[in-house]
Amino acid sequence: MSPEPTYVWPLTATAATRTAVAGGKGAMLARLLQAGVPVPPGCILTPQALMVYVDAQNESPQSDSIPMALQTALRSVLDELGSVPSGWAVRSSAVAEDSDTASFAGIYDSVLNVTEAQLWDAIQSCWASWGSDRANAYRQRLGLSHTPLMAVVIQHMVPAQCAGVAFTVDPMSGDTAQMVVNAASGLGVGVVSGVVEPEQYRLSKTPEVRVLDIRLHPATTSPLLTSEITATLGTQLLRIETLCGTPQDVEWAWDGQQCWIVQSRPITTLGEQTTD
């Protein structure tokens, strides 16, 4: 008899570090969390869960209900994660996503500040983004499978005071001795999508992490990040690059007490800055 399928894994589970189970984004977050990097608590809804949902839809096309097996499995793991005063962050995590050759940046959906009542709607939004025109075109261009191999990452939402994107090498020049941190007030969505002009911090890696220069936003007179926060984040970036073995494009968020890492993926093109 085959074992019962597991539709949900906490990020602390060994299985969650496997790309086939958690997708590229989820597997990386699980590896970092288990290595001691500050990653928000969360879990993975596996690609198998999506297949169960698709099968249910094929059997009852007029129904949009979630199979009870999926609801029960997710509820059990979420209860173990504890209360979420700031809601959930729900993010797609395709199996081919965030690889060395295909970032899928901005291709699939993420939904932030999700309440308990909105959770399954957010999950369905992520699942639906697999079949979007932009996703199909991207996969076709790379010659990738159209089989729906989509996991979903569900994490505690970080109530960010500021957030942004960081690169463990200079993405424009390719200088491996420097790191670049982009920051903006709030959740950092505008920085990630490229619609907000961020502050920029250039950091050295050796002999110690330190700020080389700061480019402020024209509307501000003082930096968002103190030297202590910048040093903490820079040290985290160095550790992530060492753990991954390749230059990384990292999304981070500062909640007033902790710099949280919410995504890390390889920089697929040096010399051309990428956005999610």
Cα angle for residues 234, 247, 108 (degrees, 5° grid): 100
Lowest-confidence region among 5-14, 39-48, 133-142, 228-237: 133-142
Which tokens go with 124?
């369905």
Which tokens go with 259?
């710099």
Residue 230's nearest CA partner among 157, 180, 176 is 180
Q: Where in the chain is the domain with CATH 3.30.470.20?
A: 162-266
Which range among 99-113, 159-173, 258-272 has the greatest average pLDDT? 159-173
Which tokens go with 253?
């968020």
Residue 156's nearest CA partner among 92, 83, 265, 94 is 83
Which tokens go with 101?
């050759």
Mention the CATH class of domain 8-156: alpha beta
DSSP string, 209-237: -EEEEEE--TT-SS-SS-HHHHHHHHHHH
Q: Where in the chain is the domain with CATH 3.30.1490.20?
A: 8-156
Evaluate if pTM is beyond 0.85.
Answer: yes
Residue 200's nearest CA partner among 229, 175, 225 is 225
Reading phi first (left if > 0) and then psi (alpha if -120 to 50, else beta), residue 11 is in: alpha
Q: Which CATH superfamily is domain 162-266 in?
A: ATP-grasp fold, B domain (3.30.470.20)
Question: Helix or strand or coil: residue 207?
Answer: coil
- Residue 273 is predicted with a pLDDT of 45
In angstroms, the CA 114 to CA 151 distance is 17
Read off the DSSP letter of residue 63. Answer: -
In this predicted structure, the answer to whether residue 110 has a pLDDT above a threshold of 50 is yes
In angstroms, the CA 227 to CA 159 distance is 21
pLDDT digits (tens, 9 = 90+) for 207-265: 899 999 999 977 777 899 998 999 999 999 999 999 999 999 999 999 999 999 999 99
Higher-confidence residue: 34 or 138?
34
Provide, rounded to the nearest whole percent, the portion of the chain with pLDDT above 70. 83
Where are the extended beta strands (E) located within the chain?
8-10, 42-45, 88-94, 110-114, 150-156, 162-167, 178-185, 199-204, 210-215, 248-254, 259-266
Lowest-confidence region among 12-26, 100-114, 122-136, 255-269: 100-114
